[in-house]
Amino acid sequence: MATESIGFVGVGRMGGRMARRLLDAGLDLTIYDTSETVMRPLVERGAHVAESAAAVASACEIADAADRGSRRTRAARDRGGNARQDFH
Please say whether the beta carbons of 8 and 64 come within 8 A. yes
What are the tens digits of pLDDT across the range 19-35?
Answer: 999 999 999 999 999 89
Average pLDDT over residues 68-85: 55
For the chain, the 3-state helix, strand and coil shares in percent, each to the nearest 5, are 45, 15, 40
Confidence (pTM) = 0.75
- List the domain boundaries for the chain: 6-86
Burial of 25 (0-12, 13-18, 19+ CB in 10 A): exposed
**Cα Rg of the chain (Å, integer):** 12
- CATH code: domain 6-86 is 3.40.50.720
Q: CA 19 → CA 14, 52, 60, 62, 78, distances in Å?
A: 9, 16, 14, 13, 23
